[in-house]
Structure 1
Protein backbone atom coordinates (compact mmCIF):
# COMPACT_ATOMS: atom_id res chain seq x y z
CA UNK A 1 0.00 0.00 0.00
CA UNK A 2 1.06 3.58 -0.63
CA UNK A 3 1.92 5.70 2.41
CA UNK A 4 0.33 9.07 3.06
CA UNK A 5 0.95 12.17 5.15
CA UNK A 6 -1.80 14.50 6.35
CA UNK A 7 -0.79 18.18 6.07
CA UNK A 8 -2.24 20.64 8.58
CA UNK A 9 -2.24 24.35 7.84
CA UNK A 10 0.55 26.48 9.33
CA UNK A 11 -0.41 28.42 12.47
CA UNK A 12 1.61 31.43 11.30
CA UNK A 13 -0.84 32.06 8.45
CA UNK A 14 -3.56 32.93 10.93
CA UNK A 15 -1.83 34.63 13.88
CA UNK A 16 -2.62 38.18 12.67
CA UNK A 17 -6.36 37.47 12.78
CA UNK A 18 -6.31 36.92 16.55
CA UNK A 19 -5.11 40.49 17.18
CA UNK A 20 -7.80 42.10 14.96
CA UNK A 21 -10.93 43.71 16.30
CA UNK A 22 -14.36 42.74 14.95
CA UNK A 23 -14.36 45.45 12.26
CA UNK A 24 -10.92 44.39 10.99
CA UNK A 25 -12.01 40.75 10.94
CA UNK A 26 -15.15 41.68 9.01
CA UNK A 27 -13.05 43.46 6.38
CA UNK A 28 -11.46 40.06 5.69
CA UNK A 29 -14.79 38.23 5.72
CA UNK A 30 -13.84 36.68 9.07
CA UNK A 31 -15.35 36.61 12.53
CA UNK A 32 -14.51 35.50 16.05
CA UNK A 33 -16.61 32.61 17.39
CA UNK A 34 -16.83 30.61 20.61
CA UNK A 35 -17.35 26.84 20.37
CA UNK A 36 -20.72 26.06 21.93
CA UNK A 37 -20.69 22.28 21.40
CA UNK A 38 -18.00 19.59 21.43
CA UNK A 39 -18.23 18.80 17.70
CA UNK A 40 -18.60 21.18 14.79
CA UNK A 41 -15.61 23.48 15.16
CA UNK A 42 -12.73 21.54 13.52
CA UNK A 43 -9.46 23.48 13.59
CA UNK A 44 -7.35 23.21 10.42
CA UNK A 45 -4.09 23.84 12.26
CA UNK A 46 -4.44 21.40 15.16
CA UNK A 47 -6.69 19.05 13.18
CA UNK A 48 -9.04 18.56 16.10
CA UNK A 49 -12.35 19.96 17.23
CA UNK A 50 -12.37 22.91 19.59
CA UNK A 51 -13.58 22.29 23.13
CA UNK A 52 -16.71 24.06 24.35
CA UNK A 53 -15.76 27.62 25.28
CA UNK A 54 -12.66 27.81 23.06
CA UNK A 55 -12.19 30.90 20.89
CA UNK A 56 -11.73 30.49 17.15
CA UNK A 57 -11.59 32.54 14.02
CA UNK A 58 -13.92 31.55 11.19
CA UNK A 59 -12.51 32.85 7.91
CA UNK A 60 -12.46 32.18 4.18
CA UNK A 61 -9.37 30.33 2.99
CA UNK A 62 -8.05 29.58 -0.51
CA UNK A 63 -7.23 25.91 -0.06
CA UNK A 64 -6.72 24.98 -3.71
CA UNK A 65 -4.64 27.67 -5.38
CA UNK A 66 -4.04 26.17 -8.79
CA UNK A 67 -4.28 27.34 -12.38
CA UNK A 68 -7.26 25.14 -13.20
CA UNK A 69 -11.05 25.34 -13.05
CA UNK A 70 -10.81 23.48 -9.71
CA UNK A 71 -9.24 26.30 -7.73
CA UNK A 72 -11.29 26.64 -4.57
CA UNK A 73 -11.79 28.44 -1.30
CA UNK A 74 -14.14 28.06 1.61
CA UNK A 75 -14.65 28.67 5.31
CA UNK A 76 -12.32 27.20 7.92
CA UNK A 77 -11.99 27.38 11.71
CA UNK A 78 -8.69 28.06 13.48
CA UNK A 79 -8.44 27.72 17.28
CA UNK A 80 -6.77 30.62 19.06
CA UNK A 81 -4.59 28.31 21.18
CA UNK A 82 -3.94 25.78 18.44
CA UNK A 83 -0.63 24.05 17.98
CA UNK A 84 0.27 22.49 14.64
CA UNK A 85 -0.77 18.88 14.34
CA UNK A 86 2.14 16.47 14.09
CA UNK A 87 0.76 13.26 12.69
CA UNK A 88 2.77 10.18 11.88
CA UNK A 89 2.84 8.70 8.41
CA UNK A 90 -0.52 6.99 7.65
CA UNK A 91 -2.13 8.59 10.74
CA UNK A 92 -5.46 10.41 10.56
CA UNK A 93 -6.78 12.94 13.05
CA UNK A 94 -9.13 11.21 15.51
CA UNK A 95 -12.00 13.55 14.57
CA UNK A 96 -12.06 12.20 11.02
CA UNK A 97 -12.36 8.55 11.98
CA UNK A 98 -16.00 8.91 13.03
CA UNK A 99 -17.23 11.25 10.30
CA UNK A 100 -18.12 11.02 6.66
CA UNK A 101 -15.34 12.61 4.65
CA UNK A 102 -15.33 13.80 1.07
CA UNK A 103 -12.14 12.84 -0.71
CA UNK A 104 -11.11 14.80 -3.80
CA UNK A 105 -8.20 13.44 -5.82
CA UNK A 106 -6.24 15.80 -8.08
CA UNK A 107 -3.62 15.32 -10.77
CA UNK A 108 -0.39 17.33 -11.02
CA UNK A 109 -2.19 20.09 -12.98
CA UNK A 110 -4.82 20.61 -10.30
CA UNK A 111 -7.55 18.86 -12.27
CA UNK A 112 -9.89 16.59 -10.36
CA UNK A 113 -9.37 12.89 -11.02
CA UNK A 114 -12.07 11.45 -8.77
CA UNK A 115 -14.22 12.40 -5.80
CA UNK A 116 -16.10 10.26 -3.34
CA UNK A 117 -17.55 10.18 0.15
CA UNK A 118 -15.84 7.75 2.54
CA UNK A 119 -16.79 6.63 6.04
CA UNK A 120 -14.06 7.68 8.46
CA UNK A 121 -13.55 4.10 9.63
CA UNK A 122 -12.36 3.16 6.11
CA UNK A 123 -10.67 6.47 5.29
CA UNK A 124 -7.01 5.52 5.86
CA UNK A 125 -7.26 2.45 3.66
CA UNK A 126 -9.04 4.38 0.91
CA UNK A 127 -6.39 7.13 0.94
CA UNK A 128 -3.68 4.50 0.52
CA UNK A 129 -5.57 2.92 -2.37
CA UNK A 130 -6.14 6.23 -4.16
CA UNK A 131 -2.50 7.25 -3.84
CA UNK A 132 -1.45 4.05 -5.59
CA UNK A 133 -2.95 5.54 -8.77
CA UNK A 134 -0.02 7.30 -10.45
CA UNK A 135 -2.18 9.97 -12.10
CA UNK A 136 -3.26 11.18 -8.64
CA UNK A 137 -0.78 13.73 -7.28
CA UNK A 138 -2.51 14.65 -3.98
CA UNK A 139 -5.82 14.51 -2.15
CA UNK A 140 -7.99 17.04 -0.35
CA UNK A 141 -10.28 16.01 2.46
CA UNK A 142 -13.51 17.86 3.21
CA UNK A 143 -16.18 17.28 5.83
CA UNK A 144 -18.98 15.67 3.83
CA UNK A 145 -21.85 17.37 5.67
CA UNK A 146 -20.91 21.03 5.27
CA UNK A 147 -18.29 20.44 2.58
CA UNK A 148 -15.64 22.48 4.41
CA UNK A 149 -11.98 21.89 3.61
CA UNK A 150 -10.19 19.76 6.22
CA UNK A 151 -6.64 19.10 4.98
CA UNK A 152 -4.33 18.03 2.20
CA UNK A 153 -2.98 14.49 1.96
CA UNK A 154 0.21 13.70 0.07
CA UNK A 155 1.91 10.51 -1.05
CA UNK A 156 5.14 9.72 0.81
CA UNK A 157 7.82 7.17 0.22
CA UNK A 158 8.99 5.30 3.29
CA UNK A 159 12.72 5.63 3.61
CA UNK A 160 14.49 2.33 3.62
CA UNK A 161 17.01 1.72 6.33
CA UNK A 162 20.56 1.39 5.12
CA UNK A 163 22.83 -1.17 6.66
CA UNK A 164 26.40 -0.12 7.33
Structure 2
Protein backbone atom coordinates (compact mmCIF):
# COMPACT_ATOMS: atom_id res chain seq x y z
CA UNK A 1 0.00 0.00 0.00
CA UNK A 2 1.41 3.38 -1.03
CA UNK A 3 0.68 6.19 1.42
CA UNK A 4 1.08 9.95 1.65
CA UNK A 5 1.48 12.18 4.69
CA UNK A 6 -0.60 15.36 4.20
CA UNK A 7 0.03 18.84 5.59
CA UNK A 8 -2.83 21.21 6.37
CA UNK A 9 -4.07 22.73 3.10
CA UNK A 10 -2.39 26.02 2.21
CA UNK A 11 -5.68 27.84 1.63
CA UNK A 12 -6.82 27.01 5.17
CA UNK A 13 -3.45 28.03 6.65
CA UNK A 14 -3.54 31.35 4.75
CA UNK A 15 -7.03 32.00 6.10
CA UNK A 16 -5.90 31.31 9.68
CA UNK A 17 -2.83 33.53 9.33
CA UNK A 18 -4.87 36.26 7.67
CA UNK A 19 -7.69 36.39 10.21
CA UNK A 20 -5.70 35.37 13.30
CA UNK A 21 -8.91 33.68 14.46
CA UNK A 22 -9.26 29.96 15.18
CA UNK A 23 -12.18 27.62 14.45
CA UNK A 24 -14.03 29.03 17.47
CA UNK A 25 -13.41 32.59 16.25
CA UNK A 26 -11.05 33.11 19.18
CA UNK A 27 -7.78 35.04 18.80
CA UNK A 28 -4.79 32.97 17.77
CA UNK A 29 -1.83 33.22 20.15
CA UNK A 30 1.60 34.18 18.79
CA UNK A 31 4.73 32.81 20.48
CA UNK A 32 8.45 32.49 19.76
CA UNK A 33 9.97 29.05 19.31
CA UNK A 34 12.59 27.67 21.66
CA UNK A 35 13.56 25.27 18.86
CA UNK A 36 11.77 22.20 20.19
CA UNK A 37 8.18 21.12 20.57
CA UNK A 38 6.49 23.42 18.04
CA UNK A 39 5.68 21.25 15.01
CA UNK A 40 4.09 23.24 12.17
CA UNK A 41 1.19 21.35 10.59
CA UNK A 42 1.79 23.04 7.24
CA UNK A 43 5.51 22.54 6.51
CA UNK A 44 5.59 19.46 8.81
CA UNK A 45 8.82 20.68 10.43
CA UNK A 46 9.54 22.03 13.88
CA UNK A 47 9.50 25.82 14.00
CA UNK A 48 13.17 26.89 14.24
CA UNK A 49 14.58 28.58 17.33
CA UNK A 50 13.71 32.26 17.57
CA UNK A 51 11.02 32.18 14.89
CA UNK A 52 7.41 33.03 15.57
CA UNK A 53 4.63 30.49 15.60
CA UNK A 54 0.89 30.47 16.11
CA UNK A 55 -1.12 28.40 18.58
CA UNK A 56 -4.75 27.79 17.75
CA UNK A 57 -7.70 25.46 18.18
CA UNK A 58 -8.12 23.09 15.23
CA UNK A 59 -10.52 20.30 14.26
CA UNK A 60 -9.24 18.23 11.31
CA UNK A 61 -12.73 17.08 10.31
CA UNK A 62 -15.32 18.45 7.88
CA UNK A 63 -18.32 17.50 9.98
CA UNK A 64 -19.32 17.37 13.62
CA UNK A 65 -19.75 14.08 15.41
CA UNK A 66 -18.63 12.62 18.74
CA UNK A 67 -15.24 11.69 17.21
CA UNK A 68 -14.46 15.12 15.72
CA UNK A 69 -11.80 16.06 18.25
CA UNK A 70 -10.60 19.63 18.63
CA UNK A 71 -7.21 20.49 20.02
CA UNK A 72 -4.31 22.90 19.85
CA UNK A 73 -1.99 22.98 16.86
CA UNK A 74 1.02 25.10 15.85
CA UNK A 75 1.77 26.88 12.58
CA UNK A 76 4.79 28.91 11.51
CA UNK A 77 3.77 32.56 12.00
CA UNK A 78 5.34 33.54 8.67
CA UNK A 79 4.62 31.91 5.33
CA UNK A 80 6.14 28.48 4.98
CA UNK A 81 5.99 26.08 2.10
CA UNK A 82 3.55 23.21 2.48
CA UNK A 83 5.25 19.87 2.88
CA UNK A 84 5.03 17.77 -0.25
CA UNK A 85 2.62 14.88 -0.07
CA UNK A 86 5.04 12.03 0.36
CA UNK A 87 5.48 8.64 1.98
CA UNK A 88 8.50 10.03 3.84
CA UNK A 89 8.02 10.38 7.58
CA UNK A 90 7.57 14.10 8.35
CA UNK A 91 10.62 15.72 9.95
CA UNK A 92 8.51 17.03 12.85
CA UNK A 93 7.87 13.51 14.14
CA UNK A 94 10.75 13.32 16.61
CA UNK A 95 9.10 11.78 19.69
CA UNK A 96 9.63 8.07 20.40
CA UNK A 97 5.98 7.21 19.66
CA UNK A 98 2.66 8.63 18.45
CA UNK A 99 -1.00 7.63 18.41
CA UNK A 100 -1.90 6.26 14.99
CA UNK A 101 -5.63 5.79 14.39
CA UNK A 102 -7.85 4.98 11.40
CA UNK A 103 -11.10 6.79 10.62
CA UNK A 104 -14.05 5.79 8.46
CA UNK A 105 -15.45 7.75 5.50
CA UNK A 106 -17.95 9.42 7.86
CA UNK A 107 -15.04 10.60 10.07
CA UNK A 108 -15.58 8.21 12.94
CA UNK A 109 -12.87 6.18 14.63
CA UNK A 110 -12.57 2.76 13.02
CA UNK A 111 -12.73 0.43 16.04
CA UNK A 112 -9.56 -1.38 16.97
CA UNK A 113 -7.23 0.80 14.92
CA UNK A 114 -5.90 3.23 17.51
CA UNK A 115 -2.50 2.33 18.83
CA UNK A 116 0.54 4.03 20.33
CA UNK A 117 3.12 3.31 17.65
CA UNK A 118 6.89 3.64 17.76
CA UNK A 119 7.90 6.40 15.35
CA UNK A 120 9.93 4.11 13.02
CA UNK A 121 6.83 1.90 12.63
CA UNK A 122 4.33 4.67 11.77
CA UNK A 123 4.63 4.25 8.00
CA UNK A 124 4.11 0.49 8.02
CA UNK A 125 1.23 0.63 10.52
CA UNK A 126 -0.56 3.43 8.61
CA UNK A 127 -0.14 1.48 5.35
CA UNK A 128 -1.57 -1.64 7.00
CA UNK A 129 -4.58 0.32 8.29
CA UNK A 130 -5.23 1.82 4.85
CA UNK A 131 -5.39 -1.67 3.33
CA UNK A 132 -8.75 -1.95 5.12
CA UNK A 133 -11.44 -0.47 2.81
CA UNK A 134 -13.36 0.75 5.87
CA UNK A 135 -10.45 3.09 6.75
CA UNK A 136 -10.67 6.34 4.77
CA UNK A 137 -7.69 8.05 6.40
CA UNK A 138 -5.28 7.74 9.30
CA UNK A 139 -4.47 10.52 11.75
CA UNK A 140 -1.20 10.87 13.62
CA UNK A 141 -1.56 12.40 17.09
CA UNK A 142 0.75 13.15 19.97
CA UNK A 143 1.00 10.19 22.34
CA UNK A 144 1.43 12.54 25.31
CA UNK A 145 -1.06 15.32 24.48
CA UNK A 146 -3.32 13.79 21.80
CA UNK A 147 -2.81 16.84 19.53
CA UNK A 148 -3.45 16.31 15.81
CA UNK A 149 -0.19 16.31 13.83
CA UNK A 150 -0.96 15.16 10.29
CA UNK A 151 -3.10 12.89 8.18
CA UNK A 152 -2.08 9.85 6.14
CA UNK A 153 -4.02 8.83 3.03
CA UNK A 154 -3.67 6.36 0.19
CA UNK A 155 -1.26 7.66 -2.46
CA UNK A 156 -2.98 9.19 -5.48
TM-score in terms of structure 1 length: 0.81
Larger Rg: 1
**Mean Cα deviation higher: 5-14 or 100-109:** 5-14
Is 1:68 aligned to 2:31, yes or no? Answer: no
Contact 1:7 1:153 in 2 (8 A): yes
Contact 2:54 2:75 in 1 (8 A): yes
Structure 2 gaps, min length 5: none
Structure 1 ranges of 4+ moved more than 4 A: 16-21
The answer for the alignment partner of 2:76 in structure 1 is 79
Is 1:91 aligned to 2:88, yes or no? Answer: yes
Say if 1:83 and 1:70 are closer, same or farther in 2 by CA, change over 3 A: same
Is 1:107 aligned to 2:109, yes or no? Answer: no
The answer for the alignment partner of 1:7 in structure 2 is 6
Structure 1 gaps, min length 5: 158-164
- How far the C-alpha of 1:68 sits from its partner, in A, is 3.0
How many aligned positions are there?
152
RMSD: 2.3
Higher strand share: 1
Q: Determine the C-alpha separation between the residues in 2 that align with 1:137 and 1:33.
A: 34
- How far the C-alpha of 1:139 sits from its partner, in A, is 0.7
The answer for the alignment partner of 1:46 in structure 2 is 43
Q: Determine the C-alpha separation between the residues in 2 that align with 1:112 and 1:3.
A: 21
